[in-house]
Structure 1
Amino acid sequence: METGNPRNRVRIFAQFTGIFILGMVIGAVIYNGIFHLSYNQLWIENKDLQIELNQALDEMKTMKKFSKRQTIIKSIKIRVEESEHTLDAVASKEIVQKLQEELQVLRGRSMFEIDTDAKMARTFLNRKIYIVREKEFSVQIKTMLVSEGVLQIWIEVKPYVRS
């Protein structure tokens, strides 16, 4: 076969063009994957900062409102316990944010009367179902601790399985 034949030139040109286009497609797929990973990380970090900002604003309002009283709950910190069910960071952050909003009623309450409020919160929120990103999660309060005006709550989050 000689390379001067027009059919051979067209075939070689088509092969190089196909390889070039395949390289472009593979490059676009790799770029898209990297872009989505970095965007997801940025979105998670943004969610963290939004939660921190909302919490700081709420604490500031509480501090202004109850600056004279030392024995009240000024801040609420929620911690998600590690369990055998791995939970993605975004779902965890959204559940914590929803729980923070529901527990705002405890802010400004006396630390010495927290037992009645904690019982109410525990029964109200025990096994509560949250829908995050089209998935259902069950939240259970494990521990509540009040120290120096900070109510710390440890929760366990599991995927909800309908029985």
Structure 2
Amino acid sequence: MKPPHPAQTRTWGRLLVSFILGMVMGALIFHYQHAHMLDKILFENRRLALELTDLRDEVAYLEKKAEDLNKQNQEEISVKKIEIVIVNEEEIDGFTATDIIERLREELKYLIKEGYSVQSVAETAETHARLIDGKTIKFETNDEYEVKLHTMIIHTTITFKISVHKMS
């Protein structure tokens, strides 16, 4: 067998080099396109991982808040304040009105001091209403006032709406 002619060797060599360069160029283009797409996918994956972490933190926060709210709801709500409103305050002297409110608050402050729950006050509301309704308050000047209960609103602030009439 005889060796190929040098012109033929050069032609085959050029074809082989062109083939190899074509393969390398094709591989580079393929890698460029897929690497660009892979970068997009990796970036999206990291963004979603951060979003997932944020959402997990938010869920943990909301679960803790829900637990705290459940604990608060299960605790007994206690009486915090007593409010007395005189409906007909314009009919009596302002000093007398404040003295009557002060005396009634003194008589009812055990509800706050002993930490009565709103539920227990509601159960005994009739007793508290009788304590105030029809009560006679006497001052040093021998003036007497009768207290009539109109409304009793029970919550953390117990509100008594009363009317006061001077007895002759």
TM-score with structure 2 setting the length: 0.49
Greater gyration radius: 2
Aligned-residue offset at 1:116: 3.1
Letter in 2 for 1:138: E
Q: Give how far 1:122 is off.
A: 1.3
1:106–1:117 CA contact under 8 A, matched in 2:
no
Q: Tell me, what secondary structure is at the counterpart of 1:158?
A: strand
SS in 2 for 1:72: coil
Q: Which residue of 1 aligns with 2:148?
A: 140
How far 1:70 sits from its partner (Å)? 5.6
Cα distance in structure 2, aligned partners of 1:137 and 1:101: 17
Distance 1:117 1:88 in 2: 32
Q: CA offset at residue 80 of structure 1?
A: 0.5
Other-structure match for 1:125: 132
In the alignment, which residue of structure 2 is the partner of 1:91? 96
2:81 is equivalent to residue 75 of structure 1: yes
Name the amino acid aligned to 1:77: E
Unaligned runs of 5+ in 2: 1-74
Give the letter for the 2:85 counterpart: R
Query: Is the helix fraction higher in 1 or 2?
Result: 2
Give me the TM-score of the superposition, normalised by structure 1. 0.51
Q: How many residue pairs align between the two structures?
A: 91
Find out whether 1:105 has 2:110 as its counterpart. Answer: yes
Where does residue 121 of structure 2 map in the other structure? Answer: 114
Contact persistence 1:130–1:138 (CA under 8 A): yes
Identity percentage over the alignment?
A: 22
After TM superposition, give the deviation of residue 124 of structure 1 in Å: 2.2
Matched position secondary structure for 2:138: strand
Deviations 1:47-70 (A, max 9, x none): xxxxxxxxxxxxxxxxxxxxxx56
Aligned-residue offset at 1:120: 1.0
Whether the aligned pair in 2 keeps the contact of 1:140 and 1:157 (CA below 8 Å) is yes
